[in-house]
Amino acid sequence: MGKRKIAIEKLENPNKRQVTFSKRRKGLFKKAADACLLCDAEIAVIAFSPAGKPYTFGHTSVDSVIDRYLTRSSGPVSGGNINIEAEQSRLSREIKDLERELKQQRENNKSRYWWEQIDVEKYDSVDKLQSLIDGLEKLRSNIVLRLPSSFANGEGLGSTGGDNWNDNNNDMNPPLLLTNGVSTVDYVDQAVVDDGVDASVIACSAENMDDDWLSEEDWEQLMRDDIELLPAV
Amino acid sequence: MGKRKIAIEKLENPNKRQVTFSKRRKGLFKKAADACLLCDAEIAVIAFSPAGKPYTFGHTSVDSVIDRYLTRSSGPVSGGNINIEAEQSRLSREIKDLERELKQQRENNKSRYWWEQIDVEKYDSVDKLQSLIDGLEKLRSNIVLRLPSSFANGEGLGSTGGDNWNDNNNDMNPPLLLTNGVSTVDYVDQAVVDDGVDASVIACSAENMDDDWLSEEDWEQLMRDDIELLPAV
DNA sequence: ATTGCTATATATAATGA
DNA sequence: TTCATTATATATAGCAA
């Protein structure tokens, strides 16, 4: 698939291995996303890089798919053979389910895209929070880069809420731009991620779109391209 | 990627949707497997078909990857809900020991390929067992079909154990053929999956290979091709 | 870690069994 | 559901930033 054929065996050059992982992870996630949309399927992918860093893709979400997988066929264990190992495994899984359930009691709102359900509660340390912020910043940056030119300067952003990035200081970064797909955007919401960080979630109503605006399909593609940029929680 | 370009949006024709899912699932799993081997990564893929049927791929195993994902960064949840925190706290002590033990066991069980750790204990009902057997049978059948011709008749199978399929009845199916890669095969083992089913795990030592034998790479490819045939536990 | 380029290697859509 | 064919659409290996 490249300039020359390679055997599917461990790449011994660490650098090459990392580069290949990076590229193939991107491709893998794209394939998964495409399959989800094309076939109306639910797919989760969890990948640990050679360096041990986790990357995930999930539609509707990683956790929901894992849940569905773990929950499925949870019938009573057959009698008789009480295997310690199996019992431990069962208990452990049960407990983890519980923990996850507890954690997710607040996230009952099942939304279509992962970015609609970022759980700020999970970011319980400065490091984690910074990691999220960095990821979102890079995501924003990448999206802004590909916006129609008129948006690159902040024009046309239908900021109908209290956000006033435009009005203030052009040295500041433009507001964090997230959307759950043009077809459903029609809201402006603002979430204070931290005292010092104003992570506005901004979208504009369909009425504000002109021909420069990206199609829903384009948006989804962009978001998929960028999913990888966000660190797993 | 096909004869004509298609938009990445839900296929409305249910039949086409199912066919596409089947093909792309296969492709997705292959990509995942390749990335695992090339980059020494750990990847799990869980895919629910449009019909709701689960298919999984995992290296080292689905469960181990999910576990790694769920276990990671399981710090205390930030303040707020006291009940939840208390509950988690109560459970956590109980769990920690179990988990440590479990992790140890997983380390011990860590083998390179999923088929080395089929856990018979999980197949606790006739249906599930039958499902496993069917999958393995189909897997065997597919592999046998692609064996060098000399093997198609059972010749050359280095059966050094108590297995005697050759000696008995040519109407019987040949023994279940599994290998963990030629480089490491040098054992003969036999596992009684059920009273009536003799699921022999057979391999032959490197010395027995002739030029007709498949290369390790070929074997891995065959196994990957067939992974999809096994139903998720 | 990620990106762009470009020559190739692969994956897959349409079709018909 | 799967299989084979074949014309195209994509993915990616090797480089060099």
CB of residue B41 closer than 7 A to nucleic acid strand D?
no
Cβ atoms of residues B229 and B56 within 8 Å: no
Could you say which residues of chain B have pLDDT below 70? 72-233
Among residues B225, B220, B217, the alpha carbon closest in space to that of B25 is found at B225
pLDDT at B64: 87
Does B43 fall in a domain? yes
CA distance B174 to B152: 9
Q: Do B38 and A11 touch (CB under 8 A)?
A: yes
Q: How confident is the model at residue A64 (pLDDT cuts 50, 70, 90)?
A: confident
pLDDT value at A18 more than 70: yes
Task: Tell me if residue B214 falls in helix, strand or coil.
Answer: coil
Q: Do A124 and B38 touch (CB under 8 A)?
A: no
Contact positions of strand C to protein Cβ (< 7 A): 1-3, 6-15
pLDDT at B46: 94
Cβ atoms of residues B24 and B49 within 8 Å: no
pLDDT at B70: 86
Q: Do B9 and A39 touch (CB under 8 A)?
A: no
pLDDT at B4: 93
Looking up residue A220, the CATH number of its domain turns out to be 3.40.1810.10
Does B118 fall in a domain? no
B45 in contact with chain A, both atoms CB, cutoff 8 A: yes
Query: Which residue does chain A place closest to B219, by CA atoms?
Result: A8
Does B90 fall in a domain? no
Segment A39-61, tens digit of pLDDT = 999 999 999 999 998 999 888 88
Does A66 fall in a domain? yes
Does B183 fall in a domain? no
Does B223 fall in a domain? yes
Does A96 fall in a domain? no
Segment A68-81, tens digit of pLDDT = 888 864 433 332 23
Query: Which residue does chain A place closest to B64, by CA atoms?
Result: A46
pTM: 0.51
Better-scored residue on pLDDT, B15 or A153: B15
Range of the domain at A197: 11-74+192-232
A193 in contact with chain B, both atoms CB, cutoff 8 A: no
Task: Report how many domains make up chain A.
Answer: 1
Interface test with B, best of A8, A12, A39, A61 (most B CBs within 10 A): A39
pLDDT value at A233 more than 90: no
Does B37 fall in a domain? yes
Better-scored residue on pLDDT, A108 or B196: A108
DSSP B47-104: EE-TTS-EEEEEES-HHHHHHHHHHTT-PPPPSS-HHHHHHHHHHHHHHHHHHHHHHH
pLDDT at A35: 94
Positions 21-80 in A, CB within 7 angstroms of strand D: 23-24, 26-28, 30-31, 34
* Per-chain mean pLDDT for chain A: 57
B112-to-A33, A50, B108, B145, B216 alpha-carbon distances in Å: 28, 15, 12, 25, 14
pLDDT at A13: 92
Better-scored residue on pLDDT, A131 or B182: A131
**Which nucleotide lies at the shortest CA–C1' distance from A38?**
C13
A58 Cβ neighbours under 8 A, 6+ residues apart: A43, A44, A45, A64, A65, A114
